[in-house]
Structure 1
Amino acid sequence: MPPPPPDASTDAGTETTPESATESSSADRADVQDTLDLRLPDELIALFGATSGPTSGARSGAADAQTDAHGERPAHAGHIGSVTPRPPGRAPAPSAASSADDLLDNVADWGPATTSAGVFQLVPVRIERDLPLISRWMNDPAVAAFWDLAGPDDVTQAHLRDQIDGDGRSVPCLGVLDDTPMSYWEVYRADLDALARHYPARPHDTGLHLLIGGVADRGRGLGTSLLRAVADLVLDHRAACARVIAEPALRNTPSVSAFLSAGFRFAAEVDLPDKRAALMVRDRALRAVL
């Protein structure tokens, strides 16, 4: 978790509805099917004792995987040299997957997906190439309202660097549609994230955060199409993953609507450090019918 606001809202770009007053004491009682699996995944056991990496959801306020615009900042410096500008309309070449990326089954190798809007591909971020573009998106007021990363380039750089230099549980990517970078995504292991403290996580749950960069791409249902495509990529390439997870702000009605249109179901209301979220779940078992 934009025509609701970004993709971080399925077709819009700003929050327009008041937060629901409905209270839920725990995400654990939201769906009887979402029972807690007490078997710890091997990756989590291996991470015990190590310095925790960046969190994509609960630790920093969680980003909205908004379907048509932006999202809310998930939790996750230094100076870089000059960046060679990329010609408009040219997609960045996929970078080689690192061994750490094995936690997500090598996102760089997932390849393209054909959507109603064109051919779409996730391309892992390279800071020296992509920072100016992503930082510009983060300074769009509609995006900044959710991600809280407005400011000089080094603000966005620190957010990206935490993930790229981490243990591979979160992979920041550009979304490239018909050879044009037009969105920013984070694919992360929800079961290894601080978010797992707030819902009954299962091994290999995979989370999504999303923002649509260009104003012209927001508010027309594009986010919904891309959310469905990326969720399908996750399920196609991560055989151990039974569920794709997102946690848009509950008050962000357009974003929640986008997820529902993309085949996710509403599972619970979840209190995260910086927002009350709608836990959205796309189940592998229901993939053919939703």
Structure 2
Amino acid sequence: MSPTDASTDAGTEPVTAGATDFEETLDPRQPDELGPPPPPSDGRPARAAADLRGDAHPTAGGAATPTPEDLLDHIAAWGPAATDVGAFHLVPVRPEHDLTLISRWMNDPAVAAFWELAGPPSVTDAHLRAQCDGDGRSVPCLGVLAGTPMSYWEIYRADLDPLARHYPARPHDTGIHLLIGGAADRGRGLGSTLLRAVADLVLDHRPSCARVVAEPDLRNTPSVSAFLGAGFRFADEVDLPDKRAALMIRDRALRDLL
């Protein structure tokens, strides 16, 4: 998951070569065993995503109608979050349109070290379609900042994910995975800014969700620092199948205090 400029924090453990790149690149995708199960084949942003890209094909009614069983409360309709670096949108991915860009990001060595999706586009395509053709518990999204796609997100129901076996999950806990795509966008402190914006979007549009959670690798100190800077608290260390993770939580009750 994503971080911020934490590499200068005194007392943190040394970061391996390339850590400045890791910094806002993300945190490891979950392995297939743990990763957010397949996402929505329903409330996908027919119009919202297309409008942002400038290639909308409105339906007769002029807007997409999300299905009532959407497990993540219709991300396509959430609208923008205002940040000090511009308006930020989460736009659900359309593999047929977005695969080239996301695959290129996944082949950046700084990203591949954590997400393990480097290789031909078919590798990334399989990862995306497993979510897009799933039951809606995980939605892959492009992060569009000031009109430019610059990050990749997975918003998922942590309480319905295998992750819930590893921490005391609560109903409607919502998880975040993130990578910032371009090297030029890393190391600028964007990680905390965007994590806070996305956590606020979740809490604003998912009234049943009391907590936003994340599980960056405990060794990825820049990532952990980004979450702390975004109003998350360090809740625990958890042993996952592929890593020892820092359980980071942003509580609705504390959102105005942190």
TM range, smaller chain: 0.7 to 0.9
| TM-score w.r.t. length of structure 2 | 0.81
1:232 aligns with 2:188: no
Q: Given that residues 206 and 241 in structure 1 are in contact (C-alpha distance below 8 angstroms), is that contact kept between their aligned partners in structure 2?
A: yes
Q: Given that residues 25 and 111 in structure 2 are in contact (C-alpha distance below 8 angstroms), is that contact kept between their aligned partners in structure 1?
A: yes
Q: Given that residues 70 and 210 in structure 1 are in contact (C-alpha distance below 8 angstroms), is that contact kept between their aligned partners in structure 2?
A: yes
Give, as a single letter, the amino acid of the residue that structure 1 aligns with 2:203: L
Between the aligned partners of 2:111 and 2:68, the Cα distance in structure 1 is: 29
Deviation at 1:10, TM superposition (A): 2.2
Q: Given that residues 12 and 219 in structure 1 are in contact (C-alpha distance below 8 angstroms), is that contact kept between their aligned partners in structure 2?
A: no
User: Equivalent residue for 2:159?
Assistant: 191
Q: Given that residues 196 and 231 in structure 2 are in contact (C-alpha distance below 8 angstroms), is that contact kept between their aligned partners in structure 1?
A: yes
Give, as a single letter, the amino acid of the residue that structure 2 aligns with 1:175: G
3-state SS of 2:53 partner: coil
RCO (CA 8 Å, sep 6+): is it higher in 1 or 2?
1
User: Equivalent residue for 2:4?
Assistant: 10
Q: Given that residues 10 and 221 in structure 1 are in contact (C-alpha distance below 8 angstroms), is that contact kept between their aligned partners in structure 2?
A: yes
Quickly say closer, same or farther: Cα 1:289–1:197, change in 2 above 3 A: same
Q: Given that residues 6 and 221 in structure 2 are in contact (C-alpha distance below 8 angstroms), is that contact kept between their aligned partners in structure 1?
A: no
Partner deviation per Cα, 1:151-203 (whole Å, 9 max, x = no partner): 00000000000000000000000000010000000000000000000000000
3-state SS of 2:154 partner: strand
Deviation at 1:146, TM superposition (A): 0.3
Between the aligned partners of 1:130 and 1:106, the Cα distance in structure 2 is: 20
3-state SS of 2:172 partner: coil
1:285 aligns with 2:253: yes
Which of 18, 25, 29 is residue 73 of structure 1 equivalent to?
29
Between the aligned partners of 2:167 and 2:68, the Cα distance in structure 1 is: 25
Deviation at 1:288, TM superposition (A): 0.7
Quickly say closer, same or farther: Cα 1:215–1:181, change in 2 above 3 A: same
Give, as a single letter, the amino acid of the residue that structure 2 aligns with 1:143: V
| TM-score w.r.t. length of structure 1 | 0.72
Where does 1:173-188 land on structure 2 (aligned, <5 Å)? 173-188=141-156
- Give structure 1 regions of 4+ aligned residues with deviation exceeding 4 angstroms: 16-19, 93-98
Q: Given that residues 6 and 225 in structure 2 are in contact (C-alpha distance below 8 angstroms), is that contact kept between their aligned partners in structure 1?
A: no
Give the number of equivalent residue pairs: 223
Quickly say closer, same or farther: Cα 1:96–1:152, change in 2 above 3 A: farther
Identity %: 73
3-state SS of 1:162 partner: helix
Partner deviation per Cα, 1:215-264 (whole Å, 9 max, x = no partner): 01101111110000000000000000000000000000000000000000
Where does 1:131-150 land on structure 2 (aligned, <5 Å)? 131-150=99-118
Quickly say closer, same or farther: Cα 1:215–1:239, change in 2 above 3 A: same
Q: Given that residues 12 and 218 in structure 1 are in contact (C-alpha distance below 8 angstroms), is that contact kept between their aligned partners in structure 2?
A: no
Give, as a single letter, the amino acid of the residue that structure 1 aligns with 2:160: L
User: Equivalent residue for 1:50?
Assistant: none
Give, as a single letter, the amino acid of the residue that structure 1 aligns with 2:248: M
3-state SS of 2:71 partner: helix
3-state SS of 2:97 partner: helix
Stretches of structure 2 lacking an aligned partner (at least 5 in a row): 16-21, 38-50, 57-62
* Pairwise CA RMSD: 2.3
Q: Given that residues 70 and 213 in structure 1 are in contact (C-alpha distance below 8 angstroms), is that contact kept between their aligned partners in structure 2?
A: no
Partner deviation per Cα, 1:48-103 (whole Å, 9 max, x = no partner): xxxxxxxxxxxxxxxxxx87222212235xxxxxxxxxxxxx94268947538710
Where does 1:85-96 land on structure 2 (aligned, <5 Å)? 91-92=52-53, 96=64
